[in-house]
Each structure stands twice: as structure tokens, then as C-alpha cells.
Amino acid sequence: MSKILVTGASGDIGRKTVLHLLKKRPASDLIGLVRDPAKAEDLAALGVELRQGDYLDRESLTRAFVGVEKLMLTSTHAFTDRKTAHANAIEVAAEAGVRHLVYMPIYRKAGSTFTMKEITEEDIFSIEKLRSSGLAYTLVQHPPFMEPAIMYAGPNAVETGVRVPAGNGKFTAATRDDLAAAHATVLAEPGHEGKSYYLSGAPAVSWADIARILSEIHGKDVSYIAISDEEYIGSMAALGFPDFVAPFILKWVQGMNQGEWEEVTGDLEALIGRKPTTPAEYLRSVAEAARAKESTS
């Protein structure tokens, strides 16, 4: 069987992608690329081969990509040299004879003028790099991750209200686990080369909708309160985020308010074979986990 390599396998979505691949392929077919193998010992214990490598170390990638047919390029973090990192991975994959590369850019509406520092320019660069690489590739375009997106409402939203800048636009979000399951399908099954998917969650919701859902779950009135951009940045800074991260989070919220990720497609459902986790289901699971923790403490 052909080898499938997932980069960033010690990170959250990379690890989840490998775990979903284990439901479709034997561990002997799978490779996880990690900078520190000690951080992925759980995958090694399941029989997954770990190869050490770093996006910014081309020689390590050359060693790691030997014998690989399919490669999941897990996007590296914002506030790093993402262009060089992704270019190295794409170029070395082509040199190593990788036949199919899967990449996960953030979705951007057709004709959109909305841009995000650390995201938009780097994603456009990486996609153009893929197009000129000669590799067969698939784009699995992401909406906002459900987990941080909900956190953008504030960690104490149930008590203080959903306090975000004004906007009535709707957005889709998807859990990392659902997205990872879709990645696994594209990597494990044939026929996805040349395709571009938008892995939207469903339904699209506004921040007012989030407040309503929280009200229903917790049996109390949770208000939606529009605040200024400055106040929002201050609230994120108060949570301990560095000065350069709070404006980054604000930009996500602004995109949500403008409907940048409002489109709902059936791509995610088709790839994972079930309905994606909804915001209400996710928020209910968070509430139930908190109650269970309180009952055992």
C-alpha cells in the first residue's frame, strides 16, 4: 500500500487527521512528520511511523518524504515564516516524487476584498506555488475552527453576554475533528485530485444566534452586546493574549460579521458521511463537560 504522510502530526488537527486515517488505513501505511517525536508518542504507540522534520529545514523534509505517495500539508502557524515553510514543503514534495498533496487554506469568497494579516497573502502564495509545482493537489478550504471561534464571544459569555463588535453577518464554523475526518477521506480514497472543497459547517450563525443558543442551553438570558473594536481588543488583551494577537482575533470577528464565511456547502458532510457538528451541539457538549467536571471536583 502507498504511504501517506501528515505534517504537523503532533499538533491538534494533524494528530486528529492521523487518528481518522487509522480508521481507513493500517498504521503501516501512515507517517507523521513531527519536529519533536516525544510529542507524538501516542501515535507511535498505535504503530504510526514518526519522521522528524521541520518546514524550514529542507534537508529534513527530503529525508522525511522518501517513499511518500500522498502528503497532507498542515498549515503552519500564523506569525511564522509561512511562505518559506509552505514553499519548502511543496518544492521538496515535488522533488521527492509525491503524487498527491492536500493543502488546507482558509476559505475566501470569490471576489472578496477582505484580507487577514498572516493568512490571506500566505494562503494565496501557497496555492500559486502548488499550481506551478506539477503536483496533483486538493484544496480542503477551511471555515473558522469552531473551538476558537466560539471562544471569541468571550470566556464568560454565559455570565457577561456575547460581547463582540457590531455586525449581523453569519458565519459557518467546523470542529477540528470534523475537518480532520474530511482530510482523512481525501487522503485515503481515490478521486480527489484536482478538486477544491469548502468544508463549511452548518448552519451559518450570527453572534446574536450564539447568544440565543447559549440562552437555550443554560436556561437563562444571555445577551448579545455590541462593543467597539477598541473595547474588544482590550478584552482579548485582558485574557493574556499578546498585543499582536488581539488585533488578529478581531480580524476574524470582523470577517464573521461581514459574512466572509457565510456560505454553506455540502462538501464536509459528503466527505465525512454525516452531518457536521453544529454550533448548538458543540456548545451543549462544552456545557455538559463543564458540569461533569464540577460534579467530580
Reading the block at residue 247, the C-alpha cell is: 488585533
Residue 124 predicted with pLDDT over 80:
yes
Closest CA to 168 of 227, 208, 138: 208
Q: 3-state SS of 222-246?
A: CCEEEECHHHHHHHHHHCCCCCCHH
Query: Dihedrals φ, ψ of 5, to 5°?
Result: -115, 135
Residue 1 predicted with pLDDT over 80:
no
Instruction: Provide the 3-class DSSP secondary structure of residue 71.
Output: strand
Give the Cα separation of 149 and 175 in Å (integer): 10
Across 169-223, the runs of DSSP E, i.e. the strands, are 196-198
Reading the block at residue 254, the C-alpha cell is: 470582523
Residue 293 predicted with pLDDT over 90:
no
Closest CA to 19 of 43, 53, 52, 45: 43
Give the Cα separation of 292 and 171 in Å (integer): 30
Query: Cα angle vertex 40, ends 275, 45, to 5°?
Result: 90
pLDDT in tens, 239-277: 888 889 999 999 999 999 999 999 999 999 999 999 999
pLDDT (mean) for 9-16:
97
Residue 233 predicted with pLDDT over 60:
yes
Give the Cα separation of 52 and 35 in Å (integer): 5
Tell me the angle at which helices 245-257 and 229-238 cross, rounded to the nearest 10 degrees.
130
Q: Per-residue confidence at 284, pLDDT binned at 50, 70, 90?
A: very high
Q: Spell out the domains of the chain, with CATH numbers in brackets.
A: 3-141 (3.40.50.720)
Q: 3-state SS of 133-181?
A: CCCEEEEEEECCEHHHHHHCCCCCHHHHCEEEECCCCCECCECHHHHHH
Give the Cα separation of 55 and 35 in Å (integer): 9
pLDDT in tens, 53-104: 999 999 999 999 999 999 999 999 899 999 999 999 999 999 999 999 999 9
Q: Per-residue confidence at 29, pLDDT binned at 50, 70, 90?
A: very high
Give the Cα separation of 84 and 87 in Å (integer): 5
